[in-house]
Each structure stands twice: as C-alpha cells, then as structure tokens.
Amino acid sequence: MWSTTLTISYQQVMMLCVFYLVLIILSWILLADTSLNCYTFIIILLLVIEWWRSISYCRTIKGELALFHYIHQIYWHKQRWYLMQKPLLLRYMIILNLKSRRNGKRHTLFLMIDSICPCDWRTLHYYLRQIDLTETYP
C-alpha cells in the first residue's frame, strides 16, 4: 500500500477557467450577428453553469489518496474504488476511471502534477505503470 495527501490543483482550476472563457467568448462572437443571437444568453448561461460544476469538481479532489497496487484499488474520498481501465499517464496529469466498491457508481479522477509533491508524483506514476488489469484476482 502506498498513500499520499492530495491538495487542490490550481493549474487544473486555471486550465478550466481559460477553457470556459474561450468557449464563452467564441459563442458570443460567432452567434452575435446570426439568427441565433437570441439564444446567446442561454448558451452563455449554460457554459457558466458547467464552469461552476467543473470548479466544484476540482474542489473535491483533495484529501488522502492510497493505492493498493496489488489488488488494483484506490482509497479516495473516504471509500475504496476499483480501477476500471489502465490509467492514462501523461507527464503532467493522470486520469483514472474508477468504480466504487460501496455502491458501484463510476467516477473519473483527474490528477494534476501540482496536487501532489514531486516525489509522490513519481512514485504514483511508477506504481500505476506497473498495474496490469488483464490479471484476474479471486
């Protein structure tokens, strides 16, 4: 078992803010002189709501993270999760597809490099690279 503490990733928050800001500006510019101009306010309102939901999701990625690499499970958010697919390991981010052991709900955990200290980031990369989901355990 390996464990660390997650903090809120400010890079992730800034990336989401820039992404949604670009979408809002593009929708405002592209729909300004068209017949869809009356729907621009609704589209921008929906984009702002989605932006707020994504920022709220970013705030939930904190606390203790423990990896049970020998049984392909993660402890996060006060419950255990199964790894459903091989993790997507990039240089600055990790994407994990999880399924709850408690209620079977699926969740995607999106980790950025600034949410973990550098030595723990390297160790997490190492352990996740070792995971082979083709093996079955009783």
pLDDT tens per residue across span 90-110:
999 999 999 999 999 999 999
* pTM of this structure: 0.81
pLDDT tens per residue across span 42-94:
999 999 999 999 999 999 999 999 999 888 899 998 899 999 999 999 999 99
Integer Cα distance of 94 and 111 in angstroms: 5
Q: CA 70, 118, 54, 33 torsion: positive or negative?
A: negative
